[in-house]
């Protein structure tokens, strides 16, 4: 029934998840910035999927991520793009639920703290996380509940989810509004991720509408889509950092 894949499951030809950032914000760290986060679950409960990341303009804020729609049996216009289409990248994304303790004040002056967010890691991020998890294991500690100070180097090409995770202790989630009634069972975590990431017809339409604005892409739609079209074989091609911040 579920469309997301667990850590031990094979990736489908097209994964399926997409971020509707209105449902939940993605966690990012600014260049040369730091953040304070806790993992709601361990690596065994992460989910992964193929997602397309595309930009409607040169502004990185216009970037959007769509989980590939094919897993729902929908036509996926982004899969039909030529491989060298620079405005669209495809990658396998790994999803975690976290609490971001870093206070954030909106333009309207409202301050947010201890909010639940989606942490999206690529292959390189996961490699770094594995080293952090090894360090925790040596201390007989679990990733679930672990709190970290996250730092990102002062480089545009550095990971947008930070590159250094320093362990600061374990978190009592009962203190936070966002996690007061949170169900930590693997089944509930997966259900929550699917709820957040489920691609829908609206996203399909938005992607299709966007593609129609580009004549070159429109032409490419006549090319039959193959499993490897415009997909970077799971290698991340640094979609987040290719645009200036
Ligand atoms: Zn697709």
pLDDT digit string, tens, across residues 80-123: 766 665 567 788 899 999 999 999 888 888 888 999 999 999 99
Question: Which range has highest mean pLDDT (1-5, 106-110, 210-214)?
Answer: 106-110
Mean of pLDDT values over 40-45: 95
Residue 221: pLDDT over 60: no
Residue-range definition of the domain harbouring residue 189: 5-220
- What is the average pLDDT score of the chain? 76
Question: How many angstroms separate the alpha carbon of residue 98 from the centre of ligand 1?
Answer: 26
Q: Give the C-alpha separation, 119 to 113, whole Å.
A: 16
Question: How many angstroms separate the alpha carbon of residue 64 from the centre of ligand 1?
Answer: 13
- Take residue 52 and report the two structure tokens written for it: 């397309």
In a domain? residue 227 = no
Domain count, the chain: 1
More confident of the two residues 245 and 210: 210
Residue 161: pLDDT over 80: yes
Question: How many angstroms separate the alpha carbon of residue 162 from the centre of ligand 1?
Answer: 27
Which residues lie closer than 8 Å to 137 by C-beta, 6 or more apart?
none
In a domain? residue 124 = yes
Rounded to two decimals, the pTM is 0.75
Which residues lie closer than 8 Å to 217 by C-beta, 6 or more apart?
77, 80, 81, 82, 85, 211
* pLDDT band, very low/low/confident/very high, at 68 (cuts 50, 70, 90): confident
Q: Give the C-alpha separation, 77 to 79, whole Å.
A: 5
Mean of pLDDT values over 44-56: 82
Return phi, psi of residue 209, to 5°: -60, -40
- Take residue 176 and report the two structure tokens written for it: 């936070």
In a domain? residue 241 = no
In the chain, where does DSSP find H-type helix? 123-138, 186-197, 201-212, 215-220
Question: How many angstroms separate the alpha carbon of residue 78 from the centre of ligand 1?
Answer: 5
Report the CATH number at residue 152: 3.90.198
Q: Give the C-alpha separation, 141 to 41, whole Å.
A: 13
> Closest Cα to residue 5, out of 77, 67, 89?
67
Q: Give the C-alpha separation, 103 to 34, whole Å.
A: 11
Question: How many angstroms separate the alpha carbon of residue 123 from the centre of ligand 1?
Answer: 19
In a domain? residue 180 = yes
Residue 234: pLDDT over 90: no
Cβ atoms of residues 199 and 67 within 8 Å: yes
Question: How many angstroms separate the alpha carbon of residue 113 from the centre of ligand 1?
Answer: 34
In a domain? residue 174 = yes
Question: How many angstroms separate the alpha carbon of residue 199 from the centre of ligand 1?
Answer: 11
Task: Give the Å distances, CA to CA, from 78 to 15, 50, 176, 178, 210.
Answer: 13, 11, 38, 34, 10
Question: How many angstroms separate the alpha carbon of residue 74 from the centre of ligand 1?
Answer: 9
């Amino acid at each position: 029934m579920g469309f997301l894949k667990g850590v031990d499951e094979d990736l489908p030809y097209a994964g399926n998840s997409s971020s509707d950032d209105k449902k939940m914000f993605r966690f990012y760290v600014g260049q040369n910035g730091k953040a304070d986060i806790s993992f709601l679950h361990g690596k065994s409960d992460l989910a992964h999927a193929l997602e397309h990341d595309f930009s409607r303009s040169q502004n990185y804020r216009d970037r959007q991520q769509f989980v590939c729609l094919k897993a729902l049996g929908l036509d996926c216009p982004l899969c039909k793009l030529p491989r060298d289409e620079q405005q669209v990248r495809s990658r396998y994304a790994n999803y975690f639920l976290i609490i971001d303790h870093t206070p954030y004040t909106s333009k309207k002056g409202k301050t947010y703290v201890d909010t639940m967010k989606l942490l999206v890691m690529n292959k390189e991020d996961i490699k770094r996380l594995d080293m952090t998890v090894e360090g925790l294991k040596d201390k007989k500690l679990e990733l679930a509940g672990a709190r970290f100070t996250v730092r990102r180097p002062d480089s545009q090409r550095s990971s947008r989810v930070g590159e250094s995770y320093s362990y600061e202790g374990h978190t009592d989630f009962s203190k936070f509004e966002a996690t007061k009634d949170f169900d930590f069972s693997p089944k509930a975590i997966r259900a929550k991720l699917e709820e957040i990431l489920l691609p829908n017809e609206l996203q399909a339409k938005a992607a299709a509408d966007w593609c129609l604005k580009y004549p070159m892409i429109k032409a490419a739609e006549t090319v039959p889509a193959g499993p490897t079209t415009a997909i970077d074989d799971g290698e991340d091609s640094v979609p987040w950092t290719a645009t200036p911040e």
